[in-house]
Chain A
Amino acid sequence: MATTLTTQQVRAAAVDPRAEAAVQMIDVHKWYGEFHVLRDINLNVRRGERIVICGPSGSGKSTMIRCINRLEEHQKGRIIVDGTELTNDLKRIDEVRREVGMVFQHFNLFPHLTILENCTLAPIWVKKMPKKEAEEVAMKYLTRVKIPEQANKYPGQLSGGQQQRVAIARSLCMSPKIMLFDEPTSALDPEMVKEVLDTMVSLAEEGMTMLCVTHEMGFARQVADRVIFMDYGQIVEMNTPDEFFKNPQHERTRLFLSQILH
């Protein structure tokens, strides 16, 4: 009985038009063939909110944020990003992708283009920005992530941490309203993790709406407004970082935290 009530409350909050919602996910389900990978996802992300999503591998956390910019298609429920509902309408998908930046575990920089070209390609062709202006914007963000001197190199010549910072700058060049991070530090050498996290922290401090799939619990404590724990394609627990770490409610959450916090 109690659970039903909670779900209804969540739903009520999700469709409330007054809420300053950046992302609304309402009753979202997704299957890979027979496999039910996302189950009953209800999530309402306010503007400027920072959300950290953690969970064991295969729990659907990456799939969930990849649904937000339609790299994955959901089969049931509604996803509304910045007031635009994601449907099969290609124009709307492009609109959403223009507003949503994404940083991947394996950077996904374009190896045949220089760092600067990586950063200016989308502004020039998607936003129709003049080349010169696009380059100025790109240099501004490359300076922000502290690698302006690498602008004319190719991605393969940079370290992992530098590549990931370029990937962040590349997304920022599109001036997104929402940033998605899909395990941005998992593929990095231990010594490179901090430089990427520092960049993300400074981004959070500027009020960017962020959804981060990460296991960097220090980062979660420092910047997150909410921490979400997922397992078996469901949101198991969602709370403020203080409560989440000090006082986890669900048994599965407690088990997970005991495994990763030593």
Chain B
Amino acid sequence: MSAAVDMSRFVRSEKVEALPPPNLARGPIAWVRENLFSGPFNTILTLAVLYLLYVIIPPIVDFLFINAVWTGSDRDACRAETAGHPVGACWAFVIDKINYFVYGSYPGAERWRVDGFFILLAVGVAWLLWLRAPRRDLGAVYFFWLFPVLSYILLTGGNMDLGGRFWLGFLAVGLLFVAVMGLAAYLLKASIRSAVIIGAVILAVIGLTLGLVDIDWGLDHVPTSLWGGILVTLLVATVGIVFSLPFGVLLALGRRSRLPIVRMGSVIFIEFVRGVPLITVLIMANTMLPLFLPGDMTVDRLARPLIGVAFFASAYMAEVVRGGLQAMPKGQYEGAMSLGLNYPQMMIFIILPQALRIVIPGIVNTFIGLFKDTSLVAIVGIFDLIKTIEASRIDPEWAAPTISYTGYAFAALFYFIFCWGMSRYSLGVERRLAAGQNR
């Protein structure tokens, strides 16, 4: 074709076969020259960064590994004058205190129950997160119902001892509820039979849940004031994550609702909770919640910040989900409506799956923020991981110069592993979903 520059008429006579692209692979030296030393400015930057790394990295490695103390039973192992060599991180301290960091003051003989909770949590998380796991629908039932119930029984000991009067009252309220469901169905001209069945099923699930926590399983009662460490951190994070997604979706839908009351309620809730710091929410949940309740009713000291965190995360999640809903083209709504799908069907099958996929990065971002924010529950006296470290580092048994640094380094490592794991997982999901649709 090169000779054809001045041709004014042309008819292709043979097809041009597809050729491989020109060789783009290059050696490491070419890469370095192109990316690190491509000009005077980049060369200076590269050298400056290399110098910074030279200044920072060796002392960190020295501290964390080379001069670190791995064994020992008290402060003598971690003091330079008694150990006889410069001392970096005192991992012996973490190893010695690890049970406290994991379980808090949970009684030693009962700690297998906490281990059970960790295993149940791991099973649930793996079942839900592994996208090709079998029966993920059962996984959802497990994670959102069975796992919380079992965890409650395991951790507190169950045996709520509700008493016969409570059950009589429950039965009465339950029957009334089913009757109201049936009446509502009659008034709305819907199927009375299915309404009564739905009501009975809801009643049965609640009854079964209460029954399970009412039974005396022979476990000792462990008050929540003894819980602590990683147990509490994971518990707060799990409750926050499990509640924030469904509530966030409901709030986001509420905020876009055509019904003024629903919309106003959602807007007020979201803007109020987003408008105050988490610490304020926690302190309010801790001190003001009991004021609103009747005198003989108390909310558990651990449950208060749990509720606060769940509210807080829901408000943020609602805004993330709303972003996804607004990114949906109008045509998707119209396509669904023109087929006769009603509002819940349209949302569940068409809009939410796509909207939530768009905002996976935002959802995971909120989860990561929530996970780290759990450390703020220490403000209201809950012994999460950070608080147990705080309490341990002033232990005179382990009074040594690097104890505090070691404790915080351990906490940093713990948070980093979890947050980085969430981030990597979400990247994997995004890539998989994108590949599935091949767009």
Q: Does B23 contact A (CB under 8 A)?
A: no
Chain B residues, Cβ within 8 Å of A69: 337-338
Q: Does A87 contact B (CB under 8 A)?
A: no
Within 8 A of A (CB), among B355-381: 357
Q: Does A98 contact B (CB under 8 A)?
A: yes
Chain A residues, Cβ within 8 Å of B338: 69, 71, 97, 100-102, 104, 108, 171
- Known: A97-B338, A97-B339, A126-B339. Contact between A121 and B349, CB under 8 A? yes
Q: Are A126 and B340 in contact (CB under 8 A)?
A: yes
- Known: A101-B338, A121-B349, A122-B339. Contact between A108 and B439, CB under 8 A? no
Tally of contact residues, B, Cβ under 8 A = 21
- Known: A112-B354, A126-B339, A174-B340. Contact between A154 and B438, CB under 8 A? yes
Bound together, the chains give a CA A174 to CA B335 distance in angstroms of 13
Within 8 A of A (CB), among B294-337: 331-332, 334-337
Q: Name the one of A100, A101, A111, A122 contacting B437, with C-beta atoms under 8 angstroms.
A: A111
User: How many contacts A-B (CB < 8 Å)?
Assistant: 69
Q: Does A156 contact B (CB under 8 A)?
A: yes
User: Which residue in chain B gives the minimum CB-CB distance to A101?
Assistant: B338
Q: Does B13 contact A (CB under 8 A)?
A: no
Q: Does A109 contact B (CB under 8 A)?
A: yes
Bound together, the chains give a CA A100 to CA B350 distance in angstroms of 20
Q: Are A121 and B437 in contact (CB under 8 A)?
A: no
Chain B residues, Cβ within 8 Å of A174: 339-340
Tally of contact residues, A, Cβ under 8 A = 27
Q: Closest CB-CB distance, A70 to chain B, in whole Å?
A: 8
Q: Are A171 and B437 in contact (CB under 8 A)?
A: no
User: Which residue in chain B gives the minimum CB-CB distance to A167?
Assistant: B335
Q: Are B341 and A108 in contact (CB under 8 A)?
A: no
User: Which residue in chain A gives the minimum CB-CB distance to B436?
Assistant: A154
Q: Are B335 and A110 in contact (CB under 8 A)?
A: yes
Q: Are A71 and B334 in contact (CB under 8 A)?
A: yes
Which residues of chain B have a CB within 8 Å of any CB of chain A? 331-332, 334-342, 345, 349-350, 353-354, 357, 436-439
Which residues of chain A have a CB within 8 Å of any CB of chain B? 69, 71, 90, 94, 97-98, 100-102, 104, 106-112, 121-122, 125-126, 154, 156-157, 170-171, 174
